[in-house]
Each structure stands twice: as C-alpha cells, then as structure tokens.
Amino acid sequence: MSRPPLPPFTRETAAQKARMAEDAWNSRDPERVSLAYTEDSRWRNRSEVFEGRAAIVAFLTRKWAKELDYRLIKDLWAFDNNRIAVRFQYEWRDASGQWHRSYGNEQWEFDEHGLMRRREASINDITIDEKDRRFHWPAPGPRPQDVPGLGDSPF
C-alpha cells in the first residue's frame, strides 16, 4: 500500500502531507485516519504510548467521544527527507458544553510508502469561552480553502 506524497519530502509535498492529515482528522473517522499509518505504527500522544492500527482506532474513538465538535488546523513547521514536524491547534467542547483549545506539536516519521510509522505529539489545553472560538466551519469535515492556516496566530 502506498500513500503519496512519498519521501523524500519537498516543502510542497510536506505541506500537502500535513493538509491531508488535517483533513483526515477533521473527518473524525478513526478507520480512515488509521490507514495513513503503518500496521505497527508507534505513537506517543500526551502521556499515552501505544502501537498498531487497532490501538490507533481505539484511541481516536475514545478521543472523539470526549472531544465533541472537534475542528483542527495543522501547519507545516519543518521537514527533512522522511520526517515532518507540524504545529497544530484544535477546538472542542466537552459534554458539559465547555469549550477548549488544544495547542501542540507533532513529529512524524514515514516509511518509503508514505505511511507514518512514528508519531509523537505534545499537547496543552486551555478552556475558552464560546465567544473566543476561532474555528467555525461545519464539522465533521475539512477546513474550507478560504479559512487560513495558523500563520502567526496568537496562542
């Protein structure tokens, strides 16, 4: 199975890979998202460490059951050969209706087929008022083309 674009990455293909990941995560479909990873992909997400597509699906299922109305933006930070680093922000609300914004960085490593074999994510959360939300497109679904990336957005 191949998942273009393939390494070695250029600025253009690394940015494309980041946007493809963003679109998949915004679908909130754990099975769809898991197909971008190797069968034995290794993850660190906050304090959780796990391996394999089945674990990815289980993790994302739990995540999106808790993080309601999830909307995400990922921006390319750096790249080299088969590695990409992104920074991201996402907004979500909990079951009580409280909104949150999560900030983070991810480091990705890909195999020769363009599948991610390693993902490390560091994430911080803040509570926000609904009036302070920045991401308002219909969810689930991709960020519309006219909605800018993070650019120099403030924390």
| Residues 89-125: tens digit of each pLDDT | 999 999 999 999 999 999 999 999 999 999 999 999 9
Structure tokens that stand for 29 in this block = 């479909």
Higher per-residue pLDDT: 14 or 153: 14
pLDDT of residue 109: 98
Give the confidence band of 154 by pLDDT, cuts at 50, 70, 90. low
Which CATH number applies to 11-132? 3.10.450.50
User: Are the C-beta atoms of 116 and 37 separated by less than 8 Å?
Assistant: yes
Average pLDDT of 126-153?
A: 94
Q: Between the CA of residue 146 and those of 13, 42, 142, 143, what are the distances in Å?
A: 20, 34, 11, 8
**DSSP letter at 25?**
H
Give the confidence band of 155 by pLDDT, cuts at 50, 70, 90. low
Average pLDDT of 11-31?
A: 98
Q: What are phi and psi of 40, to 5 degrees?
A: -110, 25
pLDDT of residue 151: 87
User: Are the C-beta atoms of 113 and 3 separated by less than 8 Å?
Assistant: yes
Structure tokens that stand for 55 in this block = 């674990």
> Where are the chain's structural domains?
11-132
Burial of 118 (C-beta count, 10 Å sphere; 0-12/13-18/19+): middle
Taking the C-alpha atoms of residue 92 and residue 90, their distance in angstroms, rounded to an integer, is 7
